[in-house]
């Protein structure tokens, strides 16, 4: 039986480039090469595409120039080599990308044009989930609790006296806590807005939710949704700033993740059902990690949705799925099956 040809995109131009490379390395370790023929497509920090042997050290300098063709008759890659153009037909694309131009609908739009089935959310769902204010608006419309929030566009002046502190100021369309500040008093707001605007012209200001940070991994399959184990973020101080340490593999300076979360069975079920409701409301497909708060009163409040969550050895999504009995190799198999059978291209 012929192997499925899978194009695996990684790297990218966002601030989460290095995380994407590490996610791709973990996918490489868990990909069944008896079933799949991987074609590794690395995107450098300046946006150059290269067909390489894998996401290992030095991949940027060893590959051939490649582009994903938007021509559906090609259904794959155009490889540019010594003035010649070769084609590689792909059965499926797995975008192991995070953040801007990878998780926000831009790459998904190119993949739609190409006609190639791809893992993960479609253009609309990716864009809505990436924009936290839009995700909150959609979630609220179906009765899911969200923080109170305000949006500050690039030309918006914010009156600090109108807010109820503490608040979090964050880029509306960024990930991994880049550009996020906790503001305790009004005098700190201008600096926090400036920090957030380094990453996005659209800024979200949201009231702090008093509760425990929790997460739930969701895997969409043809016959329903699978919820991973719930995790709990245990903070020693400050707030969660995932993936920003120099060596995240060795752990965070202020947080650990408890999987399964040490919460009641009733709370666990409520968290999982809320995560599924969020996933459905936002039109997600394939994989997503839903981050929430669990208040002392037992309410679940949405924090954000990651449509292409980290898949590194230390990332939350694979840990939660593994705790539910699904190692990353099984998750990859299920995503491939769902993509090929559940999406009509």
Look at residue 23 and tell me if it is in a domain: yes
Instruction: CATH number of the domain at 32, please.
Output: 3.40.50.20
Q: What per-residue confidence (pLDDT) applies to 207? A: 95
Does residue 105 sit in the same domain as residue 161?
no
Q: Is there a contact between 160 and 153 (Cβ–Cβ < 8 Å)?
A: no
DSSP secondary structure code for residue 21 in this structure? H
Look at residue 133 and tell me if it is in a domain: yes
Model confidence pLDDT, tens digit, residues 188-233? 999 999 999 999 999 999 999 999 999 999 999 888 999 999 999 9
Q: How confident is the model over 30-47, as a mean pLDDT? A: 97
Does residue 221 sit in the same domain as residue 318?
yes
**pLDDT above 90: residue 246:** no
Does residue 222 sit in the same domain as residue 238?
yes
Q: How many domains does the chain have?
A: 3
Look at residue 240 and tell me if it is in a domain: yes
Does residue 135 sit in the same domain as residue 282?
yes
User: Measuring CA to CA, how many Å separate 218 from each of 8, 142, 195, 225, 307?
Assistant: 21, 19, 32, 7, 10
Does residue 198 sit in the same domain as residue 283?
no
Q: Record the tokens describing residue 43, joined without a space.
A: 């995107």
Q: Record the tokens describing residue 212, joined without a space.
A: 């425990």
Range of the structural domain that residue 137 is part of: 128-145+211-342
Beta bridge partners of 304: 291
Look at residue 296 and tell me if it is in a domain: yes
Look at residue 170 and tell me if it is in a domain: yes
Does residue 136 sit in the same domain as residue 218?
yes
**pLDDT above 60: residue 285:** yes
Q: Record the tokens describing residue 204, joined without a space.
A: 């979200």
Band of the pLDDT at 147, cuts 50, 70, 90? very high
Model confidence pLDDT, tens digit, residues 42-72? 999 999 999 999 999 999 998 999 999 999 9
Does residue 324 sit in the same domain as residue 224?
yes
Band of the pLDDT at 151, cuts 50, 70, 90? very high
User: Measuring CA to CA, how many Å separate 239 from each of 10, 54, 141, 181?
Assistant: 28, 34, 28, 9
Look at residue 284 and tell me if it is in a domain: yes
DSSP secondary structure code for residue 38 in this structure? E
Look at the block and give the residue holding tokens 């700033």.
241
What percent of the chain is predicted at pLDDT more than 90?
82
- The last residue of a domain, from among 186, 207, 228: 207
Look at residue 123 and tell me if it is in a domain: no
- The last residue of a domain, from among 161, 185, 207: 207
Does residue 140 sit in the same domain as residue 248?
yes
Does residue 268 sit in the same domain as residue 137?
yes
Q: What per-residue confidence (pLDDT) applies to 249? A: 57
Does residue 187 sit in the same domain as residue 239?
no
Instruction: CATH number of the domain at 138, please.
Output: 3.30.470.20
- The last residue of a domain, from among 190, 207, 224: 207
Look at the block and give the residue holding tokens 């979630």.
139
Does residue 132 sit in the same domain as residue 227?
yes
Q: For 309, what's the count of Cα atoms within 13 Å in the CB-facing half-sphere?
A: 28
Look at residue 334 and tell me if it is in a domain: yes
Q: For 77, what's the count of Cα atoms within 13 Å in the CB-facing half-sphere?
A: 27
Instruction: CATH number of the domain at 158, please.
Output: 3.30.1490.20
Band of the pLDDT at 155, cuts 50, 70, 90? confident
- The neighbour count for residue 138, using CB atoms within 10 Å, is 19
Does residue 258 sit in the same domain as residue 287?
yes
């Amino acid at each position: 039986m012929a192997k499925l040809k899978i194009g695996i995109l990684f790297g990218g131009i966002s601030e989460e480039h290095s995380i994407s490379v590490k996610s791709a390395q973990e996918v490489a370790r868990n990909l069944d090469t008896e079933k799949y023929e991987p074609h590794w497509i690395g995107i450098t920090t300046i946006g150059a595409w290269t067909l390489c042997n894998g996401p290992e050290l030095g991949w940027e300098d060893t590959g051939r120039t490649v582009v994903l063709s938007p021509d559906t008759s090609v259904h794959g890659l155009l490889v540019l080599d010594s003035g010649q153009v070769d084609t590689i037909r792909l059965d499926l694309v797995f975008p192991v990308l995070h953040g801007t131009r990878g998780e926000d609908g831009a790459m998904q739009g190119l993949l739609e044009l190409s006609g190639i089935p791809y893992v993960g959310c479609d253009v609309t769902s990716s864009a809505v989930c990436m924009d936290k204010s839009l995700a909150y608006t959609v979630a609220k419309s179906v009765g899911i609790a969200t923080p109170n929030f305000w949006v500050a566009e690039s030309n918006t002046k914010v009156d600090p006296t109108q807010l109820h502190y503490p608040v979090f100021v964050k880029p509306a369309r960024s990930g991994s806590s880049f550009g996020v500040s906790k503001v305790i008093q009004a005098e700190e707001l201008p600096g926090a807005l400036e920090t957030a605007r380094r990453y996005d012209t659209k800024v979200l200001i949201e009231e702090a939710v008093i509760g425990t940070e929790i997460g739930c991994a969701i895997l969409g399959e043809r016959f329903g949704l699978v919820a991973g184990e719930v995790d709990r973020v245990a903070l020693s101080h400050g707030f969660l700033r995932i993936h920003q340490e120099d060596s995240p593999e060795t752990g965070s300076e202020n947080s650990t993740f408890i999987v399964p979360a040490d919460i009641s069975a009733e709370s666990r079920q409520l968290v999982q059902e809320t995560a599924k409701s969020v996933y459905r409301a936002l039109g997600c497909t394939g994989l997503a990690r839903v981050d929430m708060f669990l208040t002392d009163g037992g309410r679940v409040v949405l924090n954000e949705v990651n449509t292409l969550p980290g898949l590194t050895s230390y990332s939350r999504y694979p840990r939660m799925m593994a705790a539910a009995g699904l190692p990353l190799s099984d998750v990859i198999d299920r995503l491939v099956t769902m993509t090929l059978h559940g999406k009509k291209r």
